Structure 1
């Protein structure tokens, strides 16, 4: 695949990530879309709010926006990568409830990593995703 076959998407509902060296979503001809780590951020990309549960909810809202930017939704996600600062079982429970609220019983594969810190001070949670674009249905004329 050549460089110009990729489509970088930075939906207007999300902050401009290019100064930080990434795009919110990258898709290519074919079936996969890769969504960069999303976190609880304001319009300028600064982390908000302070609480872990609130950050999880807002990060998942940002993930939805990135997916919608490439014409996909949570139903297309096949893999998540979750990163939790100072991970503990209570945080896993919060994340599990938030994911069930969005994915129902059709949960994607996930790798969760407990980390000492994330890209910017104040970030407690970040999540990235791989989604699969549905194959076009053949005409049934």
Structure 2
């Protein structure tokens, strides 16, 4: 396998928060730029945070499939949340668990004041590995 996910026993178990501590990779790295809730013209489609998260991850899936990869090959996520709070964290954790189950990739979450376009509340980018 090109990605080996691990959580050292000396650190807390982060899987309930939707991430793992370490991803060891071999093979070709693929970087996917920030994906968000966007229509064909690049405009956001919803003011609802959970909808934006769903659509951003759907767009991430499209980007991955365009190069012959899927969510299973993702080693790292970086998520950006406008006005981060625990309710929004729960939404993201639920979505990550839906996609990756008990084997979430590493993830760094950053709370931000704003994102690139008006109305954007969430963005996710990824590093994947082609084995």
Q: TM-score range with shorter-chain normalisation?
A: 0.7 to 0.9
Q: Which residue of the partner structure matches residue 46 of structure 1?
A: 43
Higher-RCO chain (CA-CA 8 Å, sequence separation at least 6): 2
Please list, as runs of the form range in 1=range in 2, the aligned pairs for 1:1-141 lying within 5 A after superposition: 31-134=28-131
The structure whose Rg is larger is 1
Deviation at 1:111, TM superposition (A): 0.3
Per-residue CA deviation, residues 31-50 of structure 1 (Å, 9 max, x unaligned), is 10000000000011101211
Aligned length: 105
User: 5+ residue gaps in structure 1?
Assistant: 1-29, 135-141
Per-residue CA deviation, residues 72-92 of structure 1 (Å, 9 max, x unaligned), is 000000000000000000100
Under a length normalisation based on structure 2, what TM-score does the superposition of the two structures give?
0.79
- The DSSP-based 3-state class of the residue aligned with 1:48 is coil
**Counterpart Cα distance in 2 of 1:124 and 1:48:** 11
- The DSSP-based 3-state class of the residue aligned with 1:80 is strand
User: 5+ residue gaps in structure 2?
Assistant: 1-26
- The DSSP-based 3-state class of the residue aligned with 1:100 is helix
- The DSSP-based 3-state class of the residue aligned with 2:59 is helix
**Counterpart Cα distance in 2 of 1:128 and 1:117:** 16
